Amino acid sequence: MEFYILVILGGILYGIWLFFKEIVRAILLRNFKKKVAPVIPAVDKQLEVLKSLFVPNKPVLDEEIEKFISDNKDLRDSVWNLYTQERTIFNEYLDSTSIKLYKEQTTPYELRKQQKENNAIADAIDELKTLTSKAFESFNALYTDSHYFTYSEM
């Protein structure tokens, strides 16, 4: 009989411990959200700046990347300091915000990779522009006001 009482008492104590653990977890997460709240608007703003930096119709210079890195060093450091070494509820919360995207896209390696991809697209667009202008020049050289196309020329 004593064993059953001990098991029941142990179950009750375990339930109370789980309840208080969840309360402490909720309080800590709420305080962490208050700490993160001022960082999120700055992160969103810098993501917009980053998006406007990598426009496909213009190449991105190394100086622009270096300027972006140096201008955002403090914000990037504060974002990296928010993450803890091991997986916690705080990291899970950060992953659900735009902070995760900012953290992934603003590493120097990722910025260089995006720069390379953007410059390749910009070069292809420039090449297409030159090819189309050459085609229009060839057409205009053949076409005059007095020239009428026959069915076989079209």
- Span 75-104, pLDDT tens digits: 988 888 888 766 778 888 888 888 989 988
Q: Look at residue 115 in the predicted model and tell me its pLDDT.
A: 92
Report how far apart, in Å, the C-alpha atoms of 30 and of each of 23, 27, 37, 43 are: 11, 5, 11, 20
Q: Is the pLDDT of residue 59 over 80?
A: yes
Residues 76 and 110 placed together within one structural domain of the fold: yes
Whether residue 30 is found in the same domain as residue 43:
no
Please say if the pLDDT value at position 11 is more than 70.
yes
Q: Which of 41-50, 67-76, 83-92, 97-106 shows the lowest per-residue confidence on average (mean pLDDT)?
A: 83-92
**Mean pLDDT confidence for 10-25:** 92
Is the predicted pLDDT of residue 147 greater than 70, yes or no? no
Owning domain of residue 85: 38-140
Taking CA 39 as the corner, what is the angle to CA 37 and CA 42, rounded to the nearest 5 degrees?
125
Q: What is the pLDDT averaged over residues 97-126?
A: 91
Residue 153 forms part of a structural domain: no
Statement to judge: residues 42 and 53 lie in one domain: yes
Query: How many domains does the structure of the chain reveal?
Result: 2
Which amino acid appears at position 113 of this protein?
A: K
pTM for the model stands at 0.71
Q: Are 106 and 57 within one domain?
A: yes
Tell me which residue of 100, 98, 87, 90 sits closest to 28, measured CA to CA. Answer: 90
